[in-house]
Amino acid sequence: MDVTTARERLEFMLAELDRSIGVLRGDPVAVRDRSTADAGSDLTDADRAQAMLTVATTQRHAVIEAIKRIEEGVYGQCVDCREPVPAGRLEARPEAARCVQCQGKRERRR
Ligand SMILES: [Zn+2]
């Protein structure tokens, strides 16, 4: 995936995330409508909105960091080992900051 395509995808993701975050913060009705599919869960609407907001905010941060890496000319490099992140991984997750090995190490440390 070339950097121009990556940037377009990241900017699109950022716009979508900003929209979702705005909805989650400001409009509980929209959240309820979207989550009717998984009725039966013990989570309240407010809990679910909060969980979605946390995920969206984390994702938004990752997307912004990836756009920064494009600007710095280091996009597609693992931020830990500086090896290239495999194209397939970037295709699936354009905001990925690490190669699979480093991501795995990081998650095991937690
Ligand atoms: Zn790495």
Residue 98 predicted with pLDDT over 60 = yes
Q: What is the pLDDT of residues 26-36, one digit of tens each?
A: 865 555 555 55
Q: CA nearest 56: which of 64, 87, 89?
A: 64
Neighbours of ion ligand 1 (CB under 5 A): 78, 80-81, 99, 102
> What is the Å distance from ligand 1's center to 84 Cα?
8
Q: What is the pTM of this model?
A: 0.79
pLDDT (tens digit per residue) in 79-93? 999 999 999 999 999
- 60 CA to centre of ligand 1 in angstroms: 21
CA 53 – ligand 1 centroid, Å: 28
Which residues are CB-neighbours of 91 under 8 A, at least 6 positions away? 1
What's the pLDDT band for 110 if we cut at 50, 70, 90? Answer: low
| Average confidence score pLDDT of the chain | 88
Q: How far is the CA of 44 from the centre of ligand 1 (A)?
A: 39
49 by Cβ neighbours in 10 Å (0-12 / 13-18 / 19+) ranks as buried
Q: 35 vs 60, which has greater pLDDT? A: 60
Question: What distance in angstroms lies between residue 85's CA and the mean position of ligand 1's atoms?
Answer: 7
